[in-house]
Amino acid sequence: MLEATIVITIVLDKLLDTYIIAFLLVFNAIVSFFQESKAENAVELLKQKLSVRARVLRSNEWKQVEARVLVPGDVIDIRLGDVVPADSVIISGSLEIDESALTGESVTVTKEKQDIAYSGSIVKRGEALAIVYKTRSATYFGKTTTLVQSAGSKSHIESLIFSIVRDLIILDVLLVMITAVYSYFIHIPIPNIIPFILVLLIASIPVALPATFTIAMAYGALDISKKGALVTRLSAIEDAASMDVLCSDKTGTITKNHLTVSDPIALKATQEELIKYAAYASEVQSDDPIDKAVLELARSRNLMPDLSLRSSFVPFDPSTKRTEATISINGRTMKVAKGAPQIISEICGVRYEEIMDRVTELAKRGYRVIAVGAGEDKMHLVGLIPLYDPPRDDSRQLISDLKNLGVSVKMVTGDNAPIAEEIARQVGIEGKACSVNRDQKFSEECAIYAEVFPEDKFSIVKALQQAGHVTGMTGDGVNDAPALKQAEVGIAVSNATDIAKASASIVLTHEGISDIVEAVKEGRKIFQRMLTYTLNKIVKTIQVVIFLTASFFAVRYFVTTPFDIILLLFANDFVTMSIATDNVRYSNKPEKWNVKALVVTSSLIAALLVVEGFIILYLGIYLHFSRDMIHTLIFDMLVFSGLFNVFMVRERRRFWHSRPSHYLLVSIVGDIVGISLISALGILVTGIPAYSVLMVLGFTFAWMAFVDTIKNYVFRIYGL
């Protein structure tokens, strides 16, 4: 419609109109181009990540090749430090693998014969031979590329603007047709009607609507960035205001992603001895999270032993599933070991069944259990050490704050249901726990999604969106990228991979996700500003097109000119862009665009402003103003009522309940002064007496106060 209007204005030689509309059109196009081009960065980053090298057996020789030339059936050698080049089945050896880039879980996993080592994971310990069975885009890692390319949510802003413009254009076309038919019967030449049709066309298109929305969101993005959240897709700010469901990763988001020892369980030793033995069997320089957790506990309780008494140390090996050390104390030589309860109990000559119930019970509560053995000639099972990833200190408060804002938080985790329920209980997530598997759909009734495979996250987001929810998703790994891009509000945490950040619409810069609360609050403030602008624009459009049409029927001449409407654009639309900086309050519930409520309430306010217009029109006729002077009188009325309408609809209660922002207030006052001067001095328009300008100004303000009473009542009915 804007492009069609530009053509019409050129044909009619209305070049000033052309320049104004073309500028707004180009401005929006440039902003959109730069924002949308960022969306493709995720795919490029994925392709770069896939470029790794591998050792492959070809023609009975080991060769170094790029991963992209591997084919199913190749035998490859995988060692410490390697990035696994393709999805491969291990045929000999064992590996300790870091899959955090894929799953988000930082604890390494053991891969043995017949297990699958996934492309993109990193070998931390061990060596193995494996047969390639999936390569490149067919791998689990590679499928992410395809998902990222296909993922993406519908723009609610685009739908809103289209709905508003569509309704206004329909109204405009009907009025133009009625006016043309009426003009034919009263014998007004068609060339005289065309300028009036142009006036209606320009008045009915919210030219500055996209620009104002962009400014409001850009202004909000700047505010949010100061609070620790970087916005990479502007429309996500509006989506954050409407978000009613947030799917949150457990590990590293709700929890600290840092193994911590719970209360150790001593069996054949004191708790202090148990901790010391476990520390002897740990390596200070190790990156192993279990070693770190044990040593951290020993230091915190002042039980750190003298490791110089250790004569030998065998680090953890995936094949043995334990660490061992030999220590010399008071002339006695002892062996200590820590590791998997099944292994340590066997070494100590204890049947695993004797401790299995206790280990299982701890596992159900979310604990990972290791056993500790110690002894001189024969090792004894001295105790069990439960480890868990505790909730972040701010998680419970965060979830409570989001609940108070009407956002339902759902936990998504690969852990089993009992573990997930225990963590959920600690942070205040209440509701049904669902173990996700092939036979169960992703129900929106679930508060906890447990046993989730990485690819399930994308499906969960889509299922919630199909159920009508505006969905947020937090994530940090490669596997999260499709879900982050699919969600209306994809949130990458501070330690996320580059791919996750490129796929997300909001990137947090502080640890945890507490900044999400600020993003939601800021998003809702921006929504209120955009709602103010939209209400104002619909009111003004309906007021102008109906008043100009109705007044033409009443007095049989046009009460304004096309040039006056262009001035009105300058005086009102550009001033109302300062709404993007207005002082507003955020809502305590998710915001939703209700086009019906917008149109109904705006139409009622517009109808009252049409009455105001006729009062001013007949007052001008009563004062025997010429047609040119009436043009200026009506122009002043349209400008002043537009400014006071902004003052009225910006506040959901009575107009005096809050003060406009400095920029908005200055722009309104400046507009009033400027329009009053050009009207009284006859600059660009036909001059009218100063008293008539003041009369219009005073009456429009008084009428605004009267309409505000009705507005307050109607807004309460429609929940605006």
Asked whether the beta carbons of 451 and 114 are under 8 A apart, the reply is no
Q: Enumerate residues 6+ apart whose C-beta is below 8 A from 43.
A: 145, 148, 149
d(CA 551, CA 553): 5
What are the φ/ψ torsions at residue 682 (nearest 5 degrees)? 75, 35
- Please give the DSSP secondary-structure letter assigned to residue 682: T
Report the Cα 569 to chain-centroid distance in Å. 34
Instruction: For residue 314, give the nearest of 292, 287, 293, 336 by alpha carbon.
Output: 336
The tokens for 437 are 């598997």
Annotate 70-137 with three-state secondary structure.
CCCCCEEEECCCCECCCEEEEEEEEEEEECHHHHCCCCCEEECCCCEECCCCEEEEEEEEEEEEECHH
| Residue 116 bridge partners (DSSP) | 89
Report the Cα 428 to chain-centroid distance in Å. 22
Half-sphere exposure of residue 680, counting CA atoms within 13 Å on the CB side? 14
Options 87, 98, 249, 456, the catalytic residue: 249
The tokens for 602 are 């705006």
Asked whether the beta carbons of 57 and 74 are under 8 A apart, the reply is yes
Q: What size, in residues, is the chain? A: 720
Active-site residue, 249 included = yes
Annotate 139-201 with three-state secondary structure.
CHHHHHHHHHHHCCCCCHHHHHHHHHHHHHHHHHHHHHHHHHHHHHHCCCCHHHHHHHHHHHH
End-to-end CA distance of the chain: 29
Block residue for tokens 């891969």:
111
Residue 93 zone, left/alpha/beta (φ > 0; ψ -120 to 50; rest):
left
Block residue for tokens 């680090």:
315
Biggest CA–CA distance in the chain, Å, is 121
**Which residue pairs, CB below 8 angstroms and at least 24 apart, start in 667-675?**
667/575, 667/578, 668/575, 668/643, 671/571, 671/572, 671/575, 671/639, 671/643, 672/640, 672/643, 672/697, 674/571, 675/571, 675/636, 675/639, 675/640
| DSSP strand pairing (87-98 vs 122-134) | antiparallel
Catalytic annotation, residues: 249
